[in-house]
Amino acid sequence: MSHLVPLSVLDFAVIGAGQSETTALQQSVELAKHAEALGYLRFWTSEHHNMPPVASTAPDLIAMRVADSTKRIKVGAGGVMLPNHAPLSVAERYLTLEAFHPNRVDLGVGRAPGTDGVAAHALRRADASHYAQHLAELDCFINGGFPAHHPYAQIQTVPKGPTRPKLFVLGSSLASAQLAAARGYPFGFAGHFSLDLAVAAIRSYRERFVPGSMARPYAILAANVIAAETQEKAEWIARAGKLGYIRLARGRLGPLPHPEEAAAHPWSREETEAAAAFSASHIAGDAASVGQRLRALIRETGADELMINATIHGFEDRKSSLELIAEGLSA
């Protein structure tokens, strides 16, 4: 199919009520195969910890399984939360993945912990204020470039083949956009959390871009999108994610509820308002309406690529959503 920009997937390995963690991980692999058949460009997996609805705690291991099970689609992290990890360890893991699957590995990195404070401490999280320094170290471990006098210059990271994983800076702020621009990296804006700053962030990134690993700026926009056969069904599917958010905000950790449970839930006024605020920038509808809104979003932001994220309970609904999104954008 032909689209205005390439389409990709950001997956959380969502665990739905009544499903096991193993099933969620297996379904992520099957979803990647489905996305590849539909012509999607990338399949990235997030890093989250201590979140019972989400099984994507180790994106590098999921990427390996996805890459082994597919032929073309690019795989990787969306992203590695760099303060949780030593840059050398991240470099070695993704160089290993690249050695097995040349020219198919993406390494998106961000500065958030992807979890709560207690789990972040258990991960022995570094100070996020050193994020820019650790990003530079990661790049040097992967691509070389430490000055001769640097204490890490003597470290040889292996395995290094003829190709390297592609490094992306991810974020949801102007600061992240400006860091990506200053270092000459491709940039991924986390619009699946909120689209409020998307236009300003991508504009700032383009205006400040200094050629580095890329000669020209390249911006990926992630968005939370659910497509179904009808507007009503899309909203019915989306309601489960809203209820899951409400429960998570109240500390009720558990799998993503089924849409039927969400439909039967006695929504209070406070819950309804909180759910509306949470999903204000989410897109849900039939193929035609979703396609129209995404085309407008591409024009408004100037994004070079759209990365689709969706909190959907049923696996068949997840597959169908990707099909209908591609259909809507190619119409």
- Structure confidence at residue 133 as a pLDDT band (50, 70, 90): very high
- Structure confidence at residue 12 as a pLDDT band (50, 70, 90): very high
195-235 pLDDT per residue, tens: 989 999 999 999 999 998 899 999 999 999 999 999 999 99
Q: How high is the pLDDT of residue 129? A: 80
Q: Are 137 and 87 in contact (CB under 8 A)?
A: yes
Of the two residues 1 and 5, the one the predictor is more confident about is 5
- Structure confidence at residue 126 as a pLDDT band (50, 70, 90): low
Average pLDDT, integer, range 145-150: 93
pLDDT(128) > 90: no
CA 161, 169, 63, 46: dihedral to nearest 10 degrees? 160
43-82 pLDDT per residue, tens: 999 999 988 889 999 999 999 999 999 999 999 999 899 9
- Structure confidence at residue 268 as a pLDDT band (50, 70, 90): very high
Name the least confident of 3-7, 121-125, 245-249: 121-125
Q: How high is the pLDDT of residue 280? A: 87
- Structure confidence at residue 2 as a pLDDT band (50, 70, 90): low
Average pLDDT of the chain? 93
Of the two residues 281 and 27, the one the predictor is more confident about is 27
pLDDT(323) > 90: yes
> What percent of the chain is modeled with pLDDT above 70?
98
Among the CATH numbers 3.40.50.10470, 3.60.9.10, 3.20.20.30, 3.20.20.120, which is that of 7-330? 3.20.20.30
> What percent of the chain is modeled with pLDDT above 90?
83
Q: Cα(27)–Cα(9) distance, rounded to whole angstroms?
A: 14
Q: How high is the pLDDT of residue 115? A: 75
- Structure confidence at residue 248 as a pLDDT band (50, 70, 90): confident
Q: How high is the pLDDT of residue 272? A: 93
pLDDT(179) > 60: yes
Domain ranges of the chain: 7-330
